[in-house]
Chains A and B, each alone.
Chain A
Amino acid sequence: MIKRIFSILLVALVFFAIFMTLATDVPFGEDRTGVSSRYIYEGVNETGAVNLVTAIVVNYRGFDTLGEVTVLFVAATGIGAILYNRSHPVKKRSKTEASLIVRTGSDILFPIMLLFGAYIFVHGHLTPGGGFQGGAIIATAFVFKYVADTRYSIDHAKFTVTESIVGMTFALIGILGLIIGGFFLFNFLPNGSPAELLSAGIIPIIYVAIGIKVGAEITGIIDNMMGVQQ
């Protein structure tokens, strides 16, 4: 026990020493490249998005976001390949039903949570939040349904089709930008006036696509895990 505590302390001390020697030389919060000041001062003019984080994630670094969405897609596909169970919609998942309070509460909260998730990804370019956050909230609403109803199950085919269509929308907008403007994910729609719902060019379309895609993928993961037999 003493040996263990001693080794933990030693590792902590070594890391502290390395961190202190390295970090004291680096000036904290200083703009070394000029990229961040460009984003801060020109971001609203160039992209039309008031939320600077969304302007960077979807417009300046849109290609990275496509990669991120692909990572999530591959993860969901892998989980589906391992855990997908054809026979589960017929069976009850649990012996005991949920109580009346849980069932009624989930029935009331389900549409409200769907609406809230949709609000977050539709307003991704105006307020904090965006496709990933809104999609996760939509998936949480479906988790509620699974908890409350032991027979509830999503229609897998419809979810897969939806996910594929919105995923292709993202790639098609990118290719359309390549045709019109000369590079991938070029913003070919007008920026509009800032802080309006229909502004910022292609950002709202892409964030709606990402929101629906993330929601469908995470719900698919939950459904696959729920269907596993013990």
Chain B
Amino acid sequence: MIAVAISFLIAIMVIFAAYAVHTNDLMYAVVATMAVSLIVSILFYVLQAPDVAMAEAAIGAGISTAVFVIAIKKTERYEHD
């Protein structure tokens, strides 16, 4: 049961990561990256590493998303080919 849930989470994570690379809208890419961080933190928690899970949730999903959003606001939102 737990193996199925973990495989499902990893599959979603790969899809989000591929989307973040593929999309031209950087704001969507940042949100997808945040989703990857969130799923990684859930996986760390399931693998009994609550310290790392907490750091990943606070820094990966919280602070770095805020930094990216500020940077996009100050520059450009769309990627040009």
Given A139-B63, A140-B62, A143-B63, do A129 and B54 touch, yes or no (CB 8 Å)?
A: yes
Min CB distance B59 to A, Å, is 5
- With both beta carbons as reference points, the residue of chain B lying nearest to A83 in the complex is identified as B74
- A-side binding surface: helix, strand, loop or mixed? helix
Cα A143 to Cα B66 with chains together (Å): 8
Cα A79 to Cα B3 with chains together (Å): 42
Find out whether the CB atom of A228 lies under 8 angstroms from the CB atom of B54. Answer: no
Find out whether the CB atom of B70 lies under 8 angstroms from the CB atom of A132. Answer: no
Cα A54 to Cα B51 with chains together (Å): 9
Q: Does A225 contact B (CB under 8 A)?
A: yes
Find out whether the CB atom of B67 lies under 8 angstroms from the CB atom of A129. Answer: no
Find out whether the CB atom of A140 lies under 8 angstroms from the CB atom of B66. Answer: yes
Cα A230 to Cα B71 with chains together (Å): 10
Min CB distance B40 to A, Å, is 15
Instruction: List, in ascending order, chain B residues with CB within 8 A of A139's CB.
Output: 63
Instruction: List, in ascending order, chain A residues with CB within 8 A of B62's CB.
Output: 136-137, 140, 143
Given A128-B51, A133-B51, A218-B63, do A140 and B70 touch, yes or no (CB 8 Å)?
A: no
Could you list which residues of chain A lie within 8 angstroms of chain B, going by C-beta atoms? Answer: 51, 53-54, 120, 128-130, 132-133, 136-137, 139-140, 143, 218, 221-222, 225-226, 228, 230
Among all A-B residue pairs, the 3 with the closest Cβ atoms: A128-B50, A136-B58, A133-B54
